[in-house]
Amino acid sequence: MSLSLTIEALGAKGDGVARPDHGEPLFVPFTLPGERVSVERIGSHYAAEEILIASPERQVPPCPHFGVCGGCDLQHASEPLYRSFKRNLVVEAFAHAGLEPEVGDLIPCAPASRRRAVFSGLREGNKVVFGFFESQTNRIADIDVCLIVVPAIASRLADLKALALIVADRKRPMRMSVTATDAGLDIALSETAKLTDSLRQSLTAFALRRDIARLTLDGEIILESRRPTIQVGGIQVGPPPGAFLQAVASAEGAMAALVAEHLAPCKATMDLFCGIGTFALRLASTGAVHAVETEASALAALDLARRGVDGLKPITLEKRDLFRRPVMAKDLSKFAGVVFDPPRAGAETQARELAASKVKRIAAVSCNPATLARDARILVDGGYKLLSVTPIDQFLWSHHVEAVALFQR
């Protein structure tokens, strides 16, 4: 049975929100505020059957897979509406925490700029379905075009699908993390069919034939014909297989510039959740840095990268689980500045130690405005002034947004 609804706003995940008879909100993907739509209920979700009255902010989505592939949420929205939506995600998250900071305009990212993507694949008979999961389902949308990834990945989708056919099984979707590096594609596979001698031989032959820089399966290197490297502030870094790195190089540069400018007066800084050195290597151009990270492989990459680089100030390294063992306030107080860039869960325990410290300047980076705002509330309650928040787009056409918050005691 169809239902006619008026879309009142965009929800946090980019869905249109309607409140029939001012009741509970209904979420309708791929709709825009002001539109009148005919919808049908599919399980617990609603889907638009027809746009009865379209918003003037509606545009033709550039990707032929949009609406089926769940990788993008907002290709149908005009650029002004899209940018406003992402900025408002940050504004509303901080307002929910009782904070009203100065929130800058969204720093955009361009299409064809994402250097890392995670694909899925599932074998169906003698074929494989390869791409991203469909919106609100556990089905994989089979794609042959992707407008968000860099050309080095987009031009190799057929090769990636052929690789998925080799390793995927029928029981569960396999995962394929693909990174475009200076040396070529770095591919990390997981949740695949069992690695047998025969499969290993097939993967080795494939990697050689298709000129893959490095191919790993569950962390084991199958073949490394060239050491994958990326540039971090002009320094060559070799990320471990499947390592976290910022998805878009220009977004990383924007984040790093904000952090570096804010912490420039600090002669000694601490980089918490430092990863492969996204901030530490840049900050070390002007002052000593103590870098802390849980993953030993990421620290090893940072350690190797810093060696032999002329002009760098000392970088000391510490392996530490900051969720279980946060750096205590008295140890933090030895540093004039701190930057922290935690996973989506944020850094609540660490933020409490920072709030009790004497650190003069703090830069907080996050891909989750809600947990960033929560941690900011802790710092403000501890005596810090929240100077500014800058939203940064590196997940184009999705509902995800990055942000950098700057604090001063």
Known binder of ligand: residue 246?
yes
Q: CA-to-CA distance for 26 and 20, rounded, in angstroms? A: 8
Q: CA-to-CA distance for 340 and 326, rounded, in angstroms? A: 12
Q: Which CATH superfamily is domain 3-58 in?
A: Nucleic acid-binding proteins (2.40.50.140)
- Please tell me if the domain spanning 3-58 has the same topology as the one spanning 84-109+248-408: no
Residue type, 336: A
User: For residues 203 and 176, is the Cβ–Cβ distance under 8 A?
Assistant: no
User: For residues 107 and 393, is the Cβ–Cβ distance under 8 A?
Assistant: yes
CATH topology of domain 84-109+248-408: Rossmann fold (3.40.50)
Q: CA-to-CA distance for 153 and 155, rounded, in angstroms? A: 5
Task: Give the pLDDT score at 206.
Answer: 97
Known binder of ligand: residue 133?
no
Which is nearest to 187 in space by CA: 243, 131, 135? 243
Q: Encoding tokens for residue 376?
A: 């900011």
Listed in sequence order, the residues at least 6 apart from 285 whose beta carbon sits closer than 8 Å to its beta carbon are 233, 311, 312, 313
Which is nearest to 162 in space by CA: 191, 116, 130? 130
Known binder of ligand: residue 136?
no
The domain locations on the chain are: 3-58, 84-109+248-408, 116-230
Q: CA-to-CA distance for 190 and 196, rounded, in angstroms? A: 14
Known binder of ligand: residue 323?
no
Which is nearest to 324 in space by CA: 353, 282, 299, 284? 353
Q: Which residues are catalytic?
A: 367
Q: CA-to-CA distance for 53 and 249, rounded, in angstroms? A: 39
User: For residue 120, what are the β-bridge partners?
Assistant: 131, 175
User: For residue 6, what are the β-bridge partners?
Assistant: 36
Task: Give the pLDDT score at 14.
Answer: 95
- Mean pLDDT in order along the chain per 10 residues (409 residues): 89 94 88 95 84 97 95 97 98 98 97 97 94 88 97 98 95 95 97 94 97 96 97 96 93 98 97 98 97 97 93 96 97 97 96 98 97 98 98 96 98
State how far the alpha carbon of 244 is from the alpha carbons of 90, 118, 259, 267, 377, in Å: 23, 11, 19, 28, 27
CATH topology of domain 116-230: OB fold (Dihydrolipoamide Acetyltransferase, E2P) (2.40.50)
Q: Could you give the angle at the alpha carbon of 28 between the alpha carbons of 26 and 33, nearest 5°? A: 95
Q: Cα 322 to chain center, whole Å? A: 20
